[in-house]
Structure 1
Amino acid sequence: MNALNPASPAGDPAGATEIPTRLLVHALVRADGTVDADQLYTVAALLGMTDQQVRLCVRRLVGEGRFIQEGRGRKATLRAVADVTGSLAPDAAYVRHAYRQDAGLAPWDGTWHLYAFAVPEALRTARDALREHLLHLGAAPVQSGLYVTANPVAELVRAFAARLGVLDTLTCLTTTDLRIGDTTEPRELAATLWPLEDIAARHTRLAAFAETRLDRLAHGPQPSDPERLTITVELAARFTTAMAPDPLLPPELLPPTWPGRRARRLTADCWSRLRTPGPAGRTADLRLFALYADALHPADDV
């Protein structure tokens, strides 16, 4: 579907981004668990979506039991059956760790964490799930059945393996002396194990987008309330695109010019401005803001 923001300036260094209609609905869930249909259709139009797209998406979400619809058309209210915000954004604890790293509050101790498993073919589904969970936690494959992280996530891995019933196939170990071929230098190992160029490019695009929107929010002309919501949705989508594949390697393992820290700082500044009252004097009361309220400022409680 074409869900590109037609308001994006030509030659926008951030590039365009596709936003699924379902993601838009989830992003507009307010603190009380409701979505205002008029607001939904307005923001959808600003993102280049048609009313038909929105209607079909709402129908599917209601049919799946994720929302209850009260009223019809633009006068309707959607009520979330469960909190769906997490489907839009990375885990808040994961985001908090990223900002703690950026603030110098989570230095690397030089330890590599390794995970090996040999799940039999009869349990292929569990084996695939364990592999995907390791990748989700930022692990990189060293060779078949052996993964490594720079962050201590062993308890999370063990808990997941236990739920799958394959804990007895999992081996966890740590080392400060990792060698792959002739490579031993930590930064070189990180560059070998993780696709850092691709991850850096995602952060660079996020930073470019956040910077242009931050300039508009700070220096005007001020966007309307629907436009502010549109920026909020786009920012959330781009933040997820940048963060989801990021293993959150400690700064000690990254190039000195790593763009992730700047991208996250600009994103946090953007979020802060978007949470302030708009031209109509209203504040967007979205669950999305509550999700990241503490995670974006980890140094405040130190």
Structure 2
Amino acid sequence: MRSQDKVFTLYGDYLRFREGPVSVDSLITLLGQLDLSEAAVRSVLWRMTRKGWLTMYRIGSGSYYGLTPRGHKLLEEGSQRIYDPPRNEPWDGTWYLVAYSIPEDRRRLRDRLRVRLLWLGCGPLTSGLWISPHNVRHAVEEIATTLDITGHIEVFRAQHLGFSDIHTLISQCWDLPAVNARYAAFIEKYRPEYERHQAEADINGHLPPAECFVRRFMLVHEYREFPFLDPYLPQELLPADWRGDEAVELFRAYHNLLTQPAEAYVDSVCEVAPAVSVISEQ
């Protein structure tokens, strides 16, 4: 796990709703629970500040880090896909098509577009034509504007009239067996942990806060990969043995079980800047 990914998950699941930036000493303690040394923490915070994800403030001799608007936007989009994806929505058979033709000298933008389309749950029918059962028009417009490629991309709404069987069409665009296998592995890994911690909580009335912080962090960090993998297709397009809903239920139950003690641990560690108005940005 890259150190930057750890920082994103920490802010995304724990810190982004807190008032004010968080002290570097608190970040060193929290990330130390995740096997990052003090030097590694300082280094990744500096890199993420240079990249525009974090802002560093100083109060006296202390340093504090908070998300930039760009960082907030990224984590907000990620949170929506993780905690509130378009699952089990009614579908009228309409497909949304995203067609693009980006010049070779702008291929890096093409690669970035493909990553964003995957994040939206689109699948490649051909190299320059992606499809989705969800209305992605506004999201694609925002992506195209950000990448400055609005002149190279179009969005259509269509019906499939032939000639492939619908499940053959699905298999051309998405590898659902592979996604299902990942869900099954997630369930196999975390179901016993959840049941063990639930039993421990029932017996003792509480769970160790620091351990819950690490467990919830790892749970979220692993689960957040699914929005890149799962297109969240309507129920009628999924295989009969689909494990996605079971994995979602397990994730939510385990996350809820760990939340109170995990948040209590973060509260005990976090030192938040006393007043943003008196902080000088560096």
Q: Shorter chain as normaliser: what TM range?
A: 0.7 to 0.9
Partner of 2:100: 117
The whole-number CA distance in structure 1 between the counterparts of 2:183 and 2:76 is: 15
Q: Which amino acid aligns with 2:99?
A: A
- Structure with a larger share of its residues in helix: 2
**Cα offset, 1:236, TM superposition:** 1.4
**Cα offset, 1:250, TM superposition:** 1.5
Find out whether 1:228 has 2:212 as its counterpart: yes
Find out whether 1:53 has 2:40 as its counterpart: yes
| Aligned residue pair count | 257
CA separation of 1:88 and 1:33: change in aligned 2, threshold 3 A: same
Asked whether the 8 Å contact 1:139–1:147 carries over to 2, the reply is yes
Find out whether 1:92 has 2:74 as its counterpart: no
Partner of 1:190: 170
Asked whether the 8 Å contact 1:43–1:227 carries over to 2, the reply is no
Q: What are the residue-to-residue correspondences of 1:1-302 with 2, within 5 Å?
A: 18=1, 20-26=2-8, 27=10, 28-29=14-15, 31-35=18-22, 40-61=27-48, 66-68=54-56, 78-82=64-68, 84=71, 91-95=78-82, 97-98=84-85, 101=87, 104=88, 106-121=89-104, 123-177=106-160, 179=162, 183-184=164-165, 186-220=166-200, 222-277=206-261, 282=264, 284=266
Question: What stretches of structure 1 of length at least 5 have no aligned partner?
Answer: 1-17, 287-302
Question: What stretches of structure 2 of length at least 5 have no aligned partner?
Answer: 269-282
Q: Which amino acid aligns with 1:183?
A: S
Cα RMSD of the aligned pairs, angstroms, is 3.5
Asked whether the 8 Å contact 2:125–2:172 carries over to 1, the reply is no
Identity of aligned residues (%): 25
Structure 1 window deviating more from structure 2 (198-207 vs 251-260): it is 198-207
CA separation of 1:166 and 1:276: change in aligned 2, threshold 3 A: closer
CA separation of 1:39 and 1:154: change in aligned 2, threshold 3 A: same
The whole-number CA distance in structure 2 between the counterparts of 1:205 and 1:71 is: 46
Asked whether the 8 Å contact 1:112–1:178 carries over to 2, the reply is no
The whole-number CA distance in structure 1 between the counterparts of 2:15 and 2:220 is: 13
Q: Write out per-residue CA displacement over residues 248-298 of structure 1, whole angstroms, 9 at most, x where no aligned residue.
A: 1122111122111111111111222222246xx937569xxxxxxxxxxxx
Structure 1 window deviating more from structure 2 (164-173 vs 136-145): it is 164-173
The whole-number CA distance in structure 2 between the counterparts of 1:176 and 1:245 is: 24
The whole-number CA distance in structure 2 between the counterparts of 1:125 and 1:68 is: 30
CA separation of 1:274 and 1:193: change in aligned 2, threshold 3 A: same
Asked whether the 8 Å contact 2:82–2:224 carries over to 1, the reply is no
**Cα offset, 1:198, TM superposition:** 2.2
Runs (4 or more) in structure 1 with deviation over 6 Å come to none
SS of corresponding position for 1:108: coil
The whole-number CA distance in structure 2 between the counterparts of 1:45 and 1:81 is: 20
CA separation of 1:166 and 1:70: change in aligned 2, threshold 3 A: closer
Q: Which amino acid aligns with 2:233?
A: L
Structure 1 window deviating more from structure 2 (211-220 vs 36-45): it is 36-45
Asked whether the 8 Å contact 1:114–1:172 carries over to 2, the reply is yes
SS of corresponding position for 1:244: helix
Partner of 2:280: none
Asked whether the 8 Å contact 1:35–1:79 carries over to 2, the reply is yes
**Cα offset, 1:56, TM superposition:** 3.5
**Cα offset, 1:229, TM superposition:** 0.8
Q: Write out per-residue CA displacement over residues 177-204 of structure 1, whole angstroms, 9 at most, x where no aligned residue.
A: 254xx522x2332123202122222222
Partner of 1:291: none
The whole-number CA distance in structure 1 between the counterparts of 2:100 and 2:47 is: 39
